[in-house]
Amino acid sequence: MPRQLGDLEDAVMTRVWQWNRPVTVREVLEDLQQERSIAYTTVMTVMDNLHQKGWVRREVDGRAYRYTAVSTRAAYSAALMNEAWSRSDNPAAALVAFFGMMSAEQREALRDAMRIVRPDLPGPSEPRTREAPDEGKREAADEPTDEPTDEPTDESTDERPGDPADGTGPESGR
């Protein structure tokens, strides 16, 4: 799991993520110098460290390197949140506390994200209801029939759909 970036590492990665293109040490240096006094060799060392840690990849361009982010800031943030959450001795309580710290905008972003992950969730204006099954109705699948079906039964053979042996399972193609 990722370790939180240091202040200078974060400042460099922020530019790499924002620019979303291959960047040179010189470009990052010039932008950082608008905020602070910093040496070329310091930025070069930080970018080399980020490469060694796997945050950026680099390609030779003449006598310099061009650096590109390996993942997005969103993926980095998600990994940090997951790491912090997984270290909790009470994950549910940690989530409740985290949600309690959120602003209204953050809670709305969370609702939007949940609708992406679970499209069946109601939107903000839709009522949240639970559908109770009709007590008087039985599903056709619940009724026994003597008609043959194409569905596998408990007496299935060794060749089941999705079985790795038949090349259609999750391990196929590896």
With a CB cutoff of 8 Å and minimum separation 6, the contacts of 98 are 85
With a CB cutoff of 8 Å and minimum separation 6, the contacts of 31 are 15
- pLDDT band at residue 142 using 50, 70 and 90 as cut-offs: very low
In a 10 Å sphere around its CB, with 0-12 CB exposed, 13-18 middle and 19+ buried, how is residue 47 labelled?
A: buried
Q: CA 65 to CA 43: how far, in whole Å?
A: 13
Q: Give the tens place of pLDDT for each residue, 18-68.
A: 999 999 999 999 999 999 999 999 999 999 999 999 999 999 999 999 999
- Expressed in percent and rounded to 5, the helix, strand and coil fractions of the chain are 45, 5, 45
Reported pTM: 0.60
With a CB cutoff of 8 Å and minimum separation 6, the contacts of 61 are 22, 24
